[in-house]
Amino acid sequence: MAVDVGIIMGSQSDWPTMREAAAILDELGISYETKIVSAHRTPDRLWSYGKTAAERGLKVIIAGAGGAAHLPGMMASKTRIPVVGVPIQTRALSGVDSLYSIVQMPKGFPVATMAIGGGANAGLMAAQMLAVSDAALAGRVDAWREALSASIAEEPTDE
């Protein structure tokens, strides 16, 4: 069964960040799969995932990695399916290493890079991409955004 979004990550340890993307997709009723695909530890898995992504019907790939975070960029080099990159926060360098590894792609192979730890926004970015050609989803995304705006108090309180 084809799913719209592939959520991939370099390690099990990335899941706490990446499940925030999954939670948004759940909220918005978007189908997805989750896989551990490491650029360094499972390069053959990366290659075959990228090679088959389009024919399997994936429409967006959300890729999270930390440290020497080559997964999003390598995936972008292997498939024309848009890749949303999530730099994972790291202990040694706070995720700046991840961010720099993901964001500076050469012309021709872009990765839409989120903030460090930006799993939720990656889910929203994927949803907004899909909503361009899905009116029902567009309505759900608009409602999600309106609910968030409505939840913001007009004035601060002491509590």
| Comparison of 91 and 107: residue with beta carbon closer to ligand RP5 | 91
Q: How far is the CB of 73 from ligand RP5 (least distance, A)?
A: 13
Which two structure tokens, joined as six digits, stand for 138? Answer: 């567009």
Q: Is 87 in the site for ligand RP5 (CB under 6 A)?
A: no
Q: How far is the CB of 13 from ligand RP5 (least distance, A)?
A: 3
Q: What CA–CA distance (Å, rounded) separates 68 from 97?
A: 7
100, 101, 105, 111 alpha-carbon torsion, rounded to 10° = -100
| Comparison of 67 and 118: residue with beta carbon closer to ligand RP5 | 67
Contacts of 156 (CB under 8 A, 6+ apart): none
Q: How far is the CB of 127 from ligand RP5 (least distance, A)?
A: 23
Q: What CA–CA distance (Å, rounded) separates 86 from 20?
A: 11
Contacts of 52 (CB under 8 A, 6+ apart): none
Q: What CA–CA distance (Å, rounded) separates 47 from 55?
A: 14
Q: Is 83 in the site for ligand RP5 (CB under 6 A)?
A: no
Q: What CA–CA distance (Å, rounded) separates 58 from 130?
A: 11
Q: What CA–CA distance (Å, rounded) separates 7 from 75?
A: 12
Q: Is 41 annotated as a binding residue?
A: yes
Size of interface with ligand RP5, in residues (CB under 6 A): 9
Q: Is 14 annotated as a binding residue?
A: yes
Binding mask 52-71 for ligand RP5 (x = CB under 6 A): -------------xxx----
| Comparison of 13 and 31: residue with beta carbon closer to ligand RP5 | 13
Interface residues with ligand RP5 (CB under 6 A)? Answer: 10-11, 13-14, 38, 65-67, 88
Annotated binding residues for substrate, written as ranges, equal 11, 14, 41
